[in-house]
Structure 1
Amino acid sequence: MDSSIRFTQTNISELFEDANRLGLICTGGDGRVASRTLPGTFKYFNMEPCAYRSLPEIQAGFGIFKRTEFVVNNIIKPWVGCGLTLGCMMPDGLPDDHLPCEYRNVYGECHRYDQSVLSILLYRAYGTRIEQHKRSYYGPYYVRCIERCTWDGDDCC
């Protein structure tokens, strides 16, 4: 969970029950995986960017992962392995070279590092069935403060 994420209630047992039942909980994004991932990362996983052209990215800011054989072998181990492999999570150049996105929907316009890798792995493992695992940042359990947060009681941003 990113430090910008705040729980909006103290009882989050239903969220954990969902994660336990489903194996993982993730949060969707707006950008497309193919436009926010550099070609080198797709190449590492032997995947074609065009297969991800219309798929929305999966945010890396919040996730719950149950330690099952499927999740460990298809998500966690490849995600960590990529992070430990030179040229996978950060394929080339300096990190700041790849952060700005202009939302032109072109392949490899920018790169989201761990988020790009997580998106590839989740779609590879679940396909479009990943939708049943997604929870919104602005759902009943947690909120992401996009702007600088000032905390006055329970209010954010």
Structure 2
Amino acid sequence: MFESLHKTVYPLLEKRMEDTKRDSNLLQQQNKVGINSYTVALFDIGLTQAEKTRVEKNCRCKLVTFKKELFPPHVQQNSCYAWKPLIVLAASQHARKLIVWQDSSVRWFPSFLDNLDRAYTAGHQVLRYLDGHRIPANTLKETFDYLHEDACGYLPYPEIQGNLHIHRSDKFNQQVLFEPWARCALEKQCMCPRPPASVLSCSSGTLHRCHRFDQSAMGLLLSRIYQKDLYKVMFQEFVWEQEKGFRVQRGNVNRNYFKP
């Protein structure tokens, strides 16, 4: 599967780049993305029945239960995060323009819509921290080995965060990102080669010091595809300022959210 990327991904990428050079409009923000037609889906990866009932009653969204029992044991384990690429792949079968993935820590501001335009133009918008680490520091060697890659070749590339990412839903992204990412998720040795609790701590200063599961795999795949142009598919540099469109607030809880 991954060896075939050299036969399928790179020719597709080359064609996309040539098309972009011929059509300068692709380099400009098109303002084609609105939010008048959208579906909000909340994915249940372990809600109790009482929690599901409360969400169904109060949320203006579609509640989708991820059926873990259909997948290998490591996918059934939430802390391996293998469920996320499978959900995004499934969403790509239905989304007409964009897929916006975010967890419950993300808060939007009105200017967030600018990010939708950038994602539609560039193909993606993914998040990195200004003081973040390089991909090989926070990705296990087993994942590089499975993907037939040398970790040293990825030292220039920053770690991709998992809180929020936006992808254009098209055939190109389907073939070069969503499907390979999901394939990695299904293979324990690729996405979750060791017990998750044993690789969460990033205390040392060495390569392969810890692992970030779905983030590690996505960062590796995007870096392989875009290489020196990776910055073009990243959110603009920011320091959690409101005017950038969103903020990540881990641990933020509103216990009265469902109360009138």
**Does TM, normalized by the shorter one, top 0.5?**
yes
Task: Count the aligned residue pairs.
Answer: 147
Residue 151 of structure 2 is matched in structure 1 by 49
Instruction: Give a deviation string over 1:83-135, Cα, whole Å, max 9, x none.
Output: 0112110112x10100000151x111000000100110110011121112211
Residue identity matched to 1:14:
D
The counterpart of 1:34, out of the listed 128, 133, 136, is 136
Relative to structure 1, the CA distance from residue 103 to residue 62 in structure 2 (aligned partners, 3 Å threshold; closer, same or farther) is: farther
TM-score by length of 2: 0.53
1:1-12 equivalences under 5 Å are 1-9=102-110, 12=112
Relative to structure 1, the CA distance from residue 59 to residue 23 in structure 2 (aligned partners, 3 Å threshold; closer, same or farther) is: same
Residue 47 of structure 2 is matched in structure 1 by none
Shift of 1:69: 2.4
Stretches of structure 1 that go unaligned for 5 or more consecutive residues are: 152-157
- 2:199 equivalent to 1:98: yes
Contact map agreement 1:8 1:141 (CA 8 A) in 2: yes
Contact map agreement 1:40 1:91 (CA 8 A) in 2: yes
Relative to structure 1, the CA distance from residue 133 to residue 103 in structure 2 (aligned partners, 3 Å threshold; closer, same or farther) is: farther
Cα distance in 2 between the residues matched to 1:137 and 1:145: 13
- 2:171 equivalent to 1:69: yes
Q: What's the % identity of the aligned pairs?
A: 27
Cα distance in 1 between the residues matched to 2:204 and 2:109: 30
Cα distance in 1 between the residues matched to 2:239 and 2:169: 23
Contact map agreement 1:27 1:137 (CA 8 A) in 2: no
Moved more, 51-60 or 72-81: 51-60
- 2:252 equivalent to 1:149: yes
Highest CA radius of gyration, 1 or 2?
2
CA RMSD of aligned residues (A): 1.7
User: Which structure is higher in helix share?
Assistant: 2
Cα distance in 2 between the residues matched to 1:83 and 1:128: 26
Cα distance in 2 between the residues matched to 1:99 and 1:32: 16
Relative to structure 1, the CA distance from residue 60 to residue 137 in structure 2 (aligned partners, 3 Å threshold; closer, same or farther) is: farther
Stretches of structure 2 that go unaligned for 5 or more consecutive residues are: 1-101, 255-260
Contact map agreement 1:31 1:103 (CA 8 A) in 2: no
Moved more, 56-65 or 110-119: 56-65
Cα distance in 2 between the residues matched to 1:91 and 1:24: 27
Moved more, 128-137 or 30-39: 128-137
- Structure having greater relative contact order (Cα 8 Å, sep ≥ 6): 1
Residue 216 of structure 2 is matched in structure 1 by 116
The counterpart of 2:230, out of the listed 99, 118, 130, is 130
Residue identity matched to 1:145:
Q
- Runs (4 or more) in structure 1 with deviation over 6 Å come to none
Shift of 1:12: 3.4
SS in 2 for 1:107: coil
Shift of 1:68: 2.1
Cα distance in 2 between the residues matched to 1:82 and 1:64: 20
